[in-house]
Structures are given as structure tokens and as C-alpha cells.
Amino acid sequence: MKDKDKTKEQLVKELKEIRQRIVELEKSEVRYKRLEEELEFERRQLKSIFDGIDEIVYVADPETYEVLYINQPLRNSFGDVVGQKCFKAFQNLDAPCPFCTNDKIFGKNIGKTYIWEWQNMINKRWYRCIDRAIRWPDGRWIRYEMAIDITDSKRMSKELKERRMYLENIMKYLPDAVITQDAEGKVLEWNPEAERLFGYTSKEAIGKELDDLVASPDPDKFREATGITQQILAGKPIFPEEVVRYRKDGTPVDVVLSASPIISKGKVIGVVAVYRDIAESKRLERELKERRLYLESVMDSTPDAIVTTDNKHRIMEWNAGAERFFGYSRDEVIGKNLDNLITASNPDALKEATSLTKQILTEKRGVPPTETIRYHKDGTPVDVIVSGSPILLRNRLIGVIATYTDITERKREEKIRESIYRIAGAVITTKDINELFSFIHDIVKELMSAENCYIALYDSKTDFISFPYFIDKYDTTPQPKRAGKGLTEYVLRTKKPLLVTPKGVLRLRKEGKIEIIGATSVSYLGVPLMIENQVIGMIAVQSYVEGIKYTEEDKNILQYVSSQIGQAIRYKRAEEGLREQMSELQAFHRVTLGREGRIIELKHEVNKLLEKLGRKKQFKV
């Protein structure tokens, strides 16, 4: 009876648990539906946003060129082309567009935005296109493009340019405004340029007092103008003087006034006044000022260093890029000799720089892009590509413009690639693994500060760590040991690079992730050595000098070369293993020399090992 009651209690308990699970499942279903509704709401919001903008947007598969999505403005222009080939739908072509920008946003350019302009072949309108690779919900990379219609701005730009040229030609060929007056100051003659300048026809102007037509309505300024007229009528000429006069519509005009009395028999009978319109020169003056500001802005915004000098090679202009490259402010360098400034008194660099300068100054020919070294204010070398051109005015050399492009990053990448090739080659050139370790250390020292460096190897089967290479200012080489909780084990365990300072070490210890072993460095950088996603060891560098700290760039460099280091170590260890096997077989061969059958078998084995080592067969079988 007791067992029966107990069974009922268990059934009741199980029933309650089942009911509880049902309730939880119902709650999960409600949450799932709510999430679906939220996702659908967000999708509609996003669609509403894209459909509500004026710009056209589409998404296409870069492999098949299939249009996956278009927004409403694009649908209005081209119809519903989803599922069609983008080159057919948008350009009416039968093959991918020759100007397709997929290579600008995929492959090594994933994540980059590419902006370009193109005229559509169907509607003949111009667009500024903004292209980028994005992730589609199914995980693949697809092409996203937003196109802004710039047809009107293109047309307006062309019209403005044509109008500007037209007005400039008119201003260039028309003569000055010439006006004559009688002894009372009334207009007698009014030439076509005066009509143009002041807006009155000759019929409207003749017989009127000149000052009433063109002087300022302001009382004080009007008295100034009439005072000049009275001075001329009194027989005193007015030499070129810049004044402001007013057109018929009341707008002011800047002019240079020259006027002389017309004297007959010692009596002033009239005045001839010449007005030279300087509105254009004023405009040009403003434009030149604006253009100078524009050019200064362009020079300062370009990543390159741009320097101009006079014909004595003294610095005239020094842009922000030059300040950034060489460390000198503009005020520090103006008037100084360019070559002396940025060669840091290095005789070879100065000789090379003056040779290039001489080519420009004496031969009046440019210097093609030349890879060289110049020097920062603090004396550090800067890898640059320099090019220079003479500045000529009427075939007379008045200066030099020099451009310096910083190639430090490119040089760094070249050095890294070269290091990888050298590490790969060291597998063959080094006699044993110890020499390989030393070679790897030398390579790392070329890439960063690495006086203290060690390589640890990890055996996952035994969970043991060995330190076949260990160079350190304070610590001695550790003995092989079972993996513990040091920084080395942390890198091996996480399979991730570790860049850490003493503060970071204390934090890791506080979190219980490591134990502090050995001397504490100012900066520690460790990177795992991986082979096919398996950690075989790690390489670490550390600094005990306060002024030497590793950076994220150092971490990226060491991580980049670590894969080749791991491969080199694996191949070298395999090579040494094969050598050991071959030695054993050869020894066994000598011991069993009288056993012919076994000898033949051993010869086969030895020949196989020799082939693996890339050597010639030793035995004929």
C-alpha cells in the first residue's frame, strides 16, 4: 500500500512538472511571436525609410548579378526588376557592365565604400553612386548601391562655366566708359561702355548732370562727388583714383576715375571723364584670395607633404602634411633651405637631395617619383616618394613644387613579407632547430624591440610545456613543466594574442586567470603558434624599459608572422625527426649487415627517408 501511495505522489509531481513545462513553452511561443512581430516591424520601418528617400537604392548578388532588392524610387524609374540581371535591368546590356565596381568593394576591399559617377545608358541621367558590400540575411556578401541623381547639378555647373567664360570675354574686349561734360557739368557724350557700366542709354544720359546720374544718393558722398567735379571744372585734373559710383538701378560699382578739364583759350569749357570698371578686378582679387584659401585648404587636406620654394630653394609654402611628416611648423621653415632642413645633415641624403634640386633649378625639368629617405625634426628617418617640378612664368623659373608621399606603411608591409619569406627559407638554410630559433629571434628584432624573447612549445598529449629558446635579461630558462597558470599558459589556453602591461597582469591575476611567474616586464606581448587551428606553442617578447612599450601594431605584426613561424618549427622538427629515424635505420643496417633480406628492406627504408629529406638515393635495390 505504501509503495502504491508513493507511486501516486511521483505521478502527481511529474504531472506538475509537465504542466510547468507546458506553461514555459507557451511563454516561449509568446516571446517568439513577439520577436517575429518586432522583426517584421523593423523590416517595415527599414523599407519605409528606403522607399521614402529620393535616392535610388538596390541590392544585387555579385556572383549571379541578380537584383535582390530595389526601393520605390528605383521601382518608379525602372519598374519592378527584382530577379533580373542588374546589367540588363539598369543599363540594357547583355553582359556585366565593363565599368562594374565589384572589384572595388569585394575581395580585399570588403568593408570599403566606393564612390563614383556614371551616366545611365537608359535614361541618360547622371548619378553619383555609393557602393559597398553588406551582409545579406542568409550570410552571403552582396552588393549595395545608393545612387544620387546629379544631372541638374551637372547641367548647372556647365551653364555657370559657360556664362562665366562669356562674361569674362565681354569684360576683356570692351573699352573704358568715356563721358564728356560741358562747363555746367552736363553730359555731352556717353559711349557704349558707359551704357553698359551705369545702365543708362546715351539718350537718357545726355543733357543730365553726371553726378545726378552716378553719384551716391547719400548726402555726404554726393557732396564728395560734386566736389571732385568742381575741382575739375576749376582746371585741376584728377589722376587715377578708386571711387564708388552707382548704376541706374542703384547698385554701386567700383571704378577708377581719371578726369581732365577741357580748356580752350585758357578757359574751361568742359570735362572728359574716364571710368575704368574695376568690378572685374575686384572680383578677381576676391577670387584669387578665395582660390588661395582653397589651394591652401587642398594642400592642408591632402595626405601628402607639399612644399613650394623660390628659385633659391627657400621654402615659400609648407602644408599640414609637411608639418605632419617632418615635425616642423610652417613658421619654423619659411625662408629656410628645403634640402638642408629635411636631410638632418646626413651627407649622403643631402648629396642626393641637392642633386635632384639641381636637376630642377638648372635643367628646368621635373623629377619623376623617386623612392628615398628624408628626416623628421627629431632625426628619425621617413621613407618617402619624392617628385618635383619647376614653376615657370613666361619660361622663367621662379620656384619649385615638391611632393612627398609617406611610404612608411608600405615599407613596413614589405619588410613583414620579406621576413615571412626569410623564415620560410630558414627551414632549409639552418642546420638545426636551435639555429632556426635564433634566426627567428633576429627577424623579430628587425620588426620591433625584442631583446627579450622566448619560444615555448606545447605537447597537448602530455600537457607539457618546454622552452627550447629563452633569452631574457632577468629570468633564466625554465625547465619543461606541466602547463600551469602563467602568461605563457594563458596565451596557449586562449589561443589569442596577449598584449599586456603590469596593470593588466594584476587584473588577470585578480580574476584568477594567471599566476605571476618570474620578473614583471613593463610590456609583454605573446602570440600563439597555430597549425591547423591547433596550438603548438607560442612566441613572446617583453620589455623591461619604461620607454619601450609594445603597441597594437606590434601585436598585429607578430601575429601575422606567427603562422609562418609555426610552420617553420613544424617542418624543422619533422626534418630532425626524419634524420633521427634515418640514423637509427642506418645503425640497424650496419648491425644486421649479414642478413641480406633484411638489408634490402632496410635499403628501401633508408632510400624513402632520403627522398623525404630531398636527398639522392643511397642504395640501389
pLDDT digits (tens, 9 = 90+) for 394-406: 888 899 999 999 8
| Phi, psi for 258 (deg, rounded to 5) | -125, 130
Q: Where are the domains of the chain?
A: 1-38, 53-153, 171-281, 298-405, 412-579
Share of the chain above pLDDT 70, in %: 86
DSSP at 248: T
Segment (H or E) for 188: strand 187-190
3-class secondary-structure state, position 62? coil
The cell for 321 is: 602634411
Residue 542 to residues 84, 203, 325, 450, 474: CA-CA distances in angstroms?
A: 58, 94, 29, 7, 11
Neighbouring-strand partners of residue 180: 189, 272
Closest CA to 417 of 571, 561, 540, 565: 561
pLDDT score of 592: 56
How far is 513 from 485, CA to CA, in rounded Å? 7
Question: Which pLDDT value is given to residue 488?
Answer: 92
Q: Is 369 or 10 the better-scoring residue by pLDDT?
A: 369
Q: Which residue has the higher pLDDT, 587 or 192?
A: 192
Q: Give the pLDDT mean for 209-234.
A: 88
Give me the residue label for grid cell 546590356. Answer: 93
Give the whole-angstrom CA distance, residue 549 versus residue 555.
Answer: 11
pLDDT digits 0-9 by tens, 240-269: 888 999 999 999 999 999 899 988 888 999
The string of pLDDT tens digits covering residues 152-210 is 988 888 888 887 577 445 434 556 888 889 998 899 888 888 899 999 998 999 999 99
| Burial class of residue 303, CB neighbours in 10 A (0-12, 13-18, 19+) | exposed
Specify the higher pLDDT residue, 166 or 572.
Answer: 572
Decide whether 53-153 matches 171-281 in CATH topology. yes
Nearest to 68 by CA among 116, 132, 137, 123: 137
With a cut of 70, say whether residue 3 has pLDDT above it: no
Which strands form 464-471's sheet, in the order they lie side by side?
481-482, 464-471, 452-459, 534-543, 523-531, 498-500
Identify the helix (H) or strand (E) that includes residue 255: strand 252-264
Whether residue 279 is predicted with pLDDT greater than 60 in this model: the reply is yes
Classify 298-405 by CATH class.
Answer: alpha beta
- Residue 527 and residue 562 in contact, taking contact as beta carbons nearer than 8 Å: yes
| Mean pLDDT across 419-447 | 87
Topology of 171-281 in CATH?
Beta-Lactamase (3.30.450)
Domain 53-153, CATH:
3.30.450.20
Q: Per residue in 53-77, pLDDT tens?
A: 888 999 999 999 999 999 999 999 8
pLDDT at 417: 87
Instruction: Look at residue 291 in the predicted model and tell me its pLDDT.
Output: 81
Answer whether 538's CB lies under 8 Å from 527's CB: yes
Mean pLDDT value of segment 308-335: 91
Lowest mean pLDDT among 205-209, 311-315, 379-383, 611-615: 611-615
The secondary structure of residue 366, as a DSSP letter, is P
Question: Would you state the pLDDT for residue 172?
Answer: 45
Average pLDDT over residues 4-32: 71
Sign of the CA dihedral with 291 first, then 292, 297, and 300 last:
positive
Most confident of 32-41, 409-418, 590-599: 409-418
What's the pLDDT tens digit per position in 106-162?
999 998 999 999 999 888 999 999 999 999 888 899 999 999 999 998 888 888 888
Mean pLDDT of 505-509: 91
Query: 389: which strand partners?
Result: 401
Computed over every residue of the chain, the mean pLDDT equals: 85
C-alpha 144/C-alpha 46 separation (Å) is 14
Contacts of 449 (CB under 8 A, 6+ apart): 541, 543, 548, 550
* DSSP letter assigned to residue 244: E
Alpha-carbon distance 620 to 339, whole Å? 70
Q: According to CATH, what is the number of the domain 412-579?
A: 3.30.450.40
| Residue 5: per-residue pLDDT | 54
pLDDT at position 442 over 50 = yes
Give the pLDDT of residue 130: 94
pLDDT reported for residue 8: 73
> Mind giving me the DSSP string for 92-160?
--SS--TT--HHHHSGGGTT--EEEEEE-TTT--EEEEEEEEEE-TTS-EEEEEEEEE-HHHHHHHHHH
Q: C-alpha angle 140/143/144, rounded to 5°? A: 120
